[in-house]
Chains A and B, each alone.
Chain A
Amino acid sequence: MPLLEIKNLRTSIGKREILKGVNLTIEAGTTHVIMGPNGSGKSTLSNVIVGNPLYQVSEGEILFKGKNLVEMTPDIRANEGVFMAFQNPVEVEGVSYASFLKQALNAKRAYLNLPPLDAMHFLKHIKMRAEALNISNDLLKRFLNVGFSGGEKKRMETLQMAVLEPDFCILDELDSGLDVDALKEVSVGVNLMKEKQRAFLLITHYEKLLEYVKPDFVHILKDGRLVQSGGKELADKVYKEGFGVFE
């Protein structure tokens, strides 16, 4: 069974149809990239998979490990193992990053019928991962994303991913707002997470990221449809010729 199978997915915001029948199969252990011009529906696709209530699915299925995500609330999808690194992570005043992470991790553990981690084990759990990602303790003590730079926010998204250990990770415009050094650092984090039971879906309109995170498959999304799929060479084609050549 594929890890994720999207079948004839149609979605709209209000009356406007954005995705017009998307089909996509993702196997565990693979990395996929969706590229496309602005407004092609890339962000819609990622938001629909994680269940953002702003988007309505009018037709189709999103099967994750055989279960239809469309019928689940966002928190259940998350606890089933679907994660999205946000393009613009939100700020929450008064909530420390560490306590938020602890609550998220223990929510997932509760869903999996595991006992909650106590403070000591939790600290060990995050400390190890923060060190691997070269993230300083100070960020964990601060309020959730409040006053973080763009690069800090993105790096912390990868830390969340490492802490929660999801099976399917969507990286929505992970590269936006990052300089090359920050991009490298974030990519290291992603590559550390690559494992055979896990798959990645990268959303980008910029091929730089792909130098650091090597994709197995590249898909071109245009006007709500996947118009072409292939290997890394498709990304090179976009780089050289733009999206105009894809119909």
Chain B
Amino acid sequence: MSKEEFISKIKRLSEEKYQYGFASDIDSNTAPKGLSEDIIRFISAQKKEPEWLLERRLKAYRHWLTLEEPHHWGKISYPPIDYQDIYYYASPKKQNAPKSLDEVDPDLLEAYKKLGIPLKEQEVLAGVAVDAVFDSVSVATTYKDRLKKMGIIFCSMGEAVQEYPELIKEYMGTVVPYMDNYFACLNSAVFSDGTFVYIPKGVRSPMDLSSYFRMNTKKAGQFERTLIVADEDSYVSYLEGCTAPQRDENQLHGAVVEIVVKDRAEVKYSTVQNWFPGDKNGQGGIYNFVTKRGVCFDDAKLSWTQVETGSAITWKYPSCVLKGDRSRGEFYSVALTNNYQQADTGTKMIHLGKETSSLIISKGISAGNSNSTYRGLVRFSKNAKNAKNSSKCDSLLIGNKCGAHTVPVFEDASKTAVLEHEATTSKISEDQLFYLEQRGLTEEQATALIVNGFCKEVMQKLPMEFAVEAVSLIGLTLEGSVG
């Protein structure tokens, strides 16, 4: 983009007046399409946010206008997104702050049921507290009271802004600042809702905290903001799972997850991502452009586990900033792509403290015409004396039209780093498939079995209820990949 185009874009965007008269639309609680300062003010007003937060949003928005969209980056390419053709705020109708599940719109509950997330049963059976995000507003939160007694805060970001503004003000944006990257910046301007978790000093969360995200309203770009703060000597395991119904048009998802792990605390963050990947010809699907990062203080530990099977494009690098001495970061990843999916994912381990350590285990599986890239950065700063990293990146190819790429980058300014790196690429052998088929498995079942075996090291890091879902997801995603 030339400087002139640049200036005219800023001019155009900033002069653009809101053209739909959304004051009359307020009943629907949906902001009209498009992005402008007015829209941001609308979102902020709808959420009754304090002035400082609106200012932060506007600051991010103004910065975003100066940025250029990175639509050819790494192995990813996609047509430019029309940001004026997206709804930035939508909430389900009849939403009236339900106090219990009984007050939740039965249609919403039905939709969750179809997604296999029966909140009611989950409440009883799974012992998992759920903060369910339907489009942009939380409609149900369970187990909050029990957690509250321990001092654990687990609520929607919207609620947190109202109830715990000082915590939000203190931590939000400290791990992923608004100028970090194009999509994180956009998120900082327009984030709709998300989850806030605070674990007080010395407290171990008695259950996995789980948040299910779902997109529903047509063209509702989702910009969640998740913030987890684990205070000294605390522990929490957080699960994030995603599903979206089939759509023809691309939907943009630009979430930001920030995690603060204080001295000697430990956070486990697990994700199963199975958003609509587009059809078998590559039409439709979600653009999943996410920024996830955590910072670890002394002796703290953060581990990311992800199973990525969905989205047309996945673009994320859950990272650990190992700021404190002896802190540890772990990254376990399965990225499975089929048809025309693209995945460019990996991690960044930034070693700043002494004797910090990190572990990376990445399993990439490509089928159909898809492309999967592992991209990782392990950086040892000058002060990160005697730090170490171990990385293992394996790729598995199914068929002849897919691609797998591994781009590991190591930088050592400490001169004392210990590095182990191992990478393999393999194909499923005809012999293996035939053997399993001779035992009565279809080619697809046989493939899924081999793929699940290949991912074992990562899958076993998932909490039990997630692991089961993830195994069946792998089978689902591989449908049509063989034969």
Enumerate chain A interface residues (CB-CB to B < 8 A): 50-54, 73-75, 77-79, 83-84, 86, 89-90, 92-95, 100, 103-104, 107-108, 111, 143-144, 160, 164
With known contacts A90-B431, A92-B432, A103-B445, A78–B453 Cβ distance under 8 A: no
Q: CA of A84 to CA of B435 in the docked complex: distance in angstroms?
A: 9
Q: Does B107 contact A (CB under 8 A)?
A: no
Q: How large is the interface on B (under 10, 10 to 19, 20 to 34, 35 or more residues)?
A: 20 to 34
Known A100-B449, A103-B445; contact A90-B429, beta-carbon cutoff 8 A:
yes
Q: Is B439 an interface residue (CB 8 A)?
A: yes
Whether A93 touches B453, Cβ cut-off 8 Å, given contacts A53-B430, A86-B435, is yes
Contacts A93-B456, A100-B449 given: A108-B440 contact, CB under 8 Å? yes
Task: Give chain A nearest CB distance to B321 CB in angstroms.
Answer: 32
Q: Taking the complex as formed, is B441 at the interface, i.e. its CB lies under 8 A from any CB of chain A?
A: yes
A104 touches B453 (CB 8 A): no
Q: List 15 A-B contacts (CB under 8 A).
A: A52-B434, A73-B443, A74-B434, A74-B437, A74-B438, A78-B437, A78-B438, A79-B440, A94-B452, A95-B456, A100-B439, A103-B445, A107-B442, A108-B440, A144-B453
The total of Cβ contacts below 8 Å across the A-B interface reads 77
Cβ-based interface call for B35 (8 A): no
Are A54's CB and B430's CB within 8 A? Answer: yes
Chain A positions within 8 Å of B179 at CB level: none
Cα-based distance from A73 to B438 in the complex (angstroms): 9
Contacts of B432 in A (CB 8 A): 90, 92
Q: Is the CB of A104 within 8 A of B431?
A: no
A95 CA to B456 CA, complexed, in Å: 8
> Which of A51, A95, A164 sits near B450, CB closer than 8 Å?
A95
Map CB proximity to A onto B48-62 as digits: 1 under 8 Å, 0 otherwise: 000000000000000
With A78-B440, A92-B436, A107-B441 given, can you name 8 additional A-B contacts, CB distance below 8 Å?
A53-B430, A73-B437, A75-B438, A75-B443, A75-B445, A78-B439, A90-B431, A92-B449
- Minimal Cβ-Cβ distance residue in A for B459: A94
The answer to whether B434 and A53 have CB atoms under 8 Å apart is yes
In chain B, residues 441-477, which have Cβ atoms closer than 8 Å to a Cβ of chain A? 441-443, 445-446, 449-450, 452-457
Flag if B449 contacts A107 (CB, 8 Å): no
| A residues in contact with B445, CB < 8 Å | 75, 103, 107
Most chain-A CB neighbours within 10 Å: which of B430, B437, B440, B457?
B440
Given the known inter-chain contacts A53-B430, A86-B435, please indicate yes or no for A94 contacting B440, CB distance below 8 A: no
**In the complex the two chains form, is B439's CB within 8 Å of A94's CB?**
no
From B430, B434, B446, B454, give the contact of A94 (CB < 8 A): B454
The 9 residue pairs across chains A and B that have the minimum distance between CB atoms: A94-B453, A94-B456, A95-B453, A74-B437, A107-B440, A104-B439, A78-B440, A90-B435, A79-B440
With A94-B453, A94-B456, A94-B457: A75-B435 Cβ-Cβ less than 8 Å:
no
Q: Bound complex: CA of A75 vs CA of B432, how far in Å?
A: 13
Complex: A75 Cα to B436 Cα, angstroms: 8
Complexed CA–CA distance, A92 and B453 (Å): 7
* Residues 402-440 of chain B, each 1 if its beta carbon lies under 8 Å from chain A, else 0: 000000000000000000000000000111101111111
Q: Tell me, in angstroms, the Cα distance from A160 to B438 when the chains sit together.
A: 11
Question: Which chain A residues lie closer than 8 Å to B438 at the CB level?
Answer: 50-51, 74-75, 77-78, 83-84, 86
Q: Shortest distance in angstroms between A120's beta carbon and chain B's nearest beta carbon? A: 17
Cβ–Cβ < 8 Å partners of A73 in chain B: 437, 442-443
Which residues does chain A contribute within 8 Å of B435, judged by CB atoms?
A: 86, 89-90
CA gap between A72 and B456 in the complex, in Å: 32
Specify which chain B residues have a CB less than 8 angstroms from the CB of A75 in the assembled complex: 437-438, 440-443, 445-446
A144 to B449, CA, bound (A): 11
Bound together, the chains give a CA A95 to CA B432 distance in angstroms of: 12
A50, B440: Cα distance in complex, Å: 11
Whole-angstrom distance between the Cβ of B450 and the nearest chain A Cβ: 6
Contacts of A94 in B (CB 8 A): 452-457
**CB < 8 Å: which of A53, A86, A104, A143 contacts B440?**
A104
Enumerate chain A residues within 8 angstroms of B437, measured Cβ to Cβ: 51, 73-75, 78
* B452 CB contacts on chain A under 8 angstroms: 94-95
Which residues of chain A are near B430, meaning CB under 8 Å? Answer: 53-54
Chain B residues within an 8 Å CB radius of A100: 436, 439, 449
Decide: A164 and B456 in contact? CB cutoff 8 A.
Answer: no
CA distance A54 to B438 in the complex (A): 14
Q: How far is the CB of B119 from chain A (nearest CB, A)?
A: 26
Residue on A nearest B432 in the bound complex, by CB: A90
B residues within 8 A CB of A83? Answer: 438
Kindly list chain B residues whose C-beta atoms are within 8 Å of the C-beta of A95: 449-450, 452-453, 456
User: Roughly how many angstroms separate A86 CA and B437 CA in the complex, as a whole number?
Assistant: 13
Q: Which residue of A lies closest to B453 (CB)?
A: A94
Instruction: Give the docked Cα–Cα distance between A89 and B435 (Å).
Output: 7
Please give, as numbers and ranges, the residues of chain A lying within 8 Å of B434 by CB-CB distance.
52-53, 74
Of B434, B438, B453, B456, the most chain A CB neighbours within 10 A belong to: B438
The CA-CA distance from A173 to B441 in the complex, in Å, is: 23
Chain A residues whose C-beta falls within 8 Å of the C-beta of B446 in the assembled complex: 75
Give Cα distance in the complex from A79 to B440, angstroms.
5
Tell me the smallest distance from the CB of B453 to a CB of chain A, in Å.
Answer: 3
Could you say which residues of chain A place their CB within 8 Å of the CB of B457?
94
B432 CB to nearest A CB, Å: 5
> Whole-angstrom distance between the alpha carbons of A53 and B443 in the complex?
12
In the bound complex, residues from chain A placing their C-beta under 8 Å from that of B455 are 94
Shortest C-beta distance, A50 to chain B (Å), equals: 5
Residues of B within 8 A of A78 (CB): 437-440
Instruction: Please name all residues of chain B whose beta carbon is closer than 8 Å to the beta carbon of A164 when the two chains form the complex.
Output: 439-440
Of listed B429, B430, B432, B439, residue having the most chain A CB within 10 A: B439
Could you tell me the distance between the alpha carbons of A101 and B380 in the complex, rounded to whole angstroms?
46
